[in-house]
A and B are shown apart, each in its own frame.
Chain A
Amino acid sequence: MNSLRSSFGPVLSLVIMGLVGVWVVGMIIGPQLIMVEQSLWNKEIGGEAAQISTRIDRLYNEVDTLAFDKSDAEALDESTDRTEKIAAITAEIDTRKSTITELEATEVKPIKVYSFRNYTLMGASHFFIFLKTIAAAVAVTVIAFVVCYPIAFAVAKVATPGKAAMIMLFLIIPYSINELLRIFAWLMILDNNGVANLILGWFGFESIPFLGSGSGVFIAMVYAYILFMVFPIYNTVETLDGSQIEAARDMGASTWQIHRKIVIPHAKPGIAVGCIMTFMLSAGSFAVPNIMTRGIAEPWFTQLIYNKFFESSNWNTGSAYAFTLVIACIVFIFMMMRFFGVGIKDIAK
């Protein structure tokens, strides 16, 4: 606090603290806590209260029907019959309305009941979808590392400066093209009468329902998030002194040994960041499954969360599902930090 005040003075220091406070409490921690809180309760109404509320609902319906009768009666020709009818209906409406007010006074508001029910009621099928989503995200991460490590190394250490700049440009272009468009490109390829099935047809194979089977989601996911592995690894490999590699080679180390003993240990923080980003984007992707399943394949976990919120509007269960995903990501981040022996400071650079 004093160190801050000595550089900015009291007024600016307060402004800075205030802004950080709004961000940290009001935008990061607060919303997360409310989401967790929401996942821990359900609205419940007791048996008797439930009966009362059904009675109230029924009375409201009757009032509505009577109102229709009344307007019908009003449309009749002028006669004594008409005024009598209207009077009778109005009386009926009034008695019902007074019963409603009586009942509503006794009606109990549904009460919040705290429990872990939203988590425990997930059910085998939804839990299986959760596992499938996590497994797919891990697989995407592994594939991305295997494919991207040579590229990152090539740009950082092997290519001539001109060629490296060229490769960099070719990496940045697909990387910055909107996620949805990258997915859409694969929708066109994997569609039933898309390019992939056309080529399979040329070789006499039966066409494969990529979209209906859910494999399309995985293929598009690899494509959409693979480049998030390249840049973090490139950034760390670039800081490695090339003479270390040459020295190792002069002393007779094989290519495999050089990578295992020199390059990869040096690039650990970058690899950890790449893995965390790729995993997090894949596990938390709503765009890919939403477009690539087209509503015919089995949903992915993020789609289940979406449905809980916006289709069955059960926000409590939805929050529980969402927090389950957060926990999976936190566990993955700590596993990566353990595995690569890096701290949070190394990760967020």
Chain B
Amino acid sequence: MGALANYIERAGVATASISLIREQSEAVNPPRALWVPFALGRPLGSAADPEFQKQVMRAALGMLATATQPTIEDYPIEAPDEADAGQWLCPVNFAVAEDESVTARLLAEVTRLAPWSAETRAKRGRTLFGVTGAAPHQIDAVARALGTLAEHGNLSEAPVEGIDWQFDMPILVRHLADDLRTFYHEAIAAQPGSDAPNHDALNDWIFDGTALGDALQQIAKHLTEEGSPMSLLVRGLLIPEGRYEGGSAFG
């Protein structure tokens, strides 16, 4: 981010940067950076809070009037609390029958979540689902594709589901996972009593209580066994750090 600011300024356009990782801004030395004490994925601090967002923007843009040399300022206000892992519990509990395949369990989960996910899509009028190339009504195909990869471990061939996948294997795996995570996150957003859970709470749910989490662990194991640099990279892009049962996802 900071490097990009320096490159852009070479054309005479001033920049004001939001900084999430202060150490990286310090290393690059951008013209004006406002370090904010917010979580990754929340650069303006709080969703659906226009005034909070604008206060952060005013602080960053305000540096254009005050800084006279490369400067990093610290934003002093913490973001409003999100519901953390200890407070948030998904109201939907997926029963596990031991003789079911991970694909069958995934399909059962998306069936139970589908009305909630559809509700959020309708309410928001938008969705982040579909980066793989799938449409929301093709959620079963996405679940089947990921489940099949988990069960069979062939990570060199894209699953055939009649979808024009937007990525090649094995990077497609990472985005299949993201489309499913999006579907799950959009589903819980519609459920009664669901405050916005934070990153850790969402991951606790996905990895401790869903077939999606189990499928991702199985795929990570296949990637580890395959062992190529690309496979290990994809493992780190698939599973958040701290969640891989075999150790560090990037390690």
Q: Do A and B form a real pair?
A: no
B interface with A by C-beta (< 8 Å): none
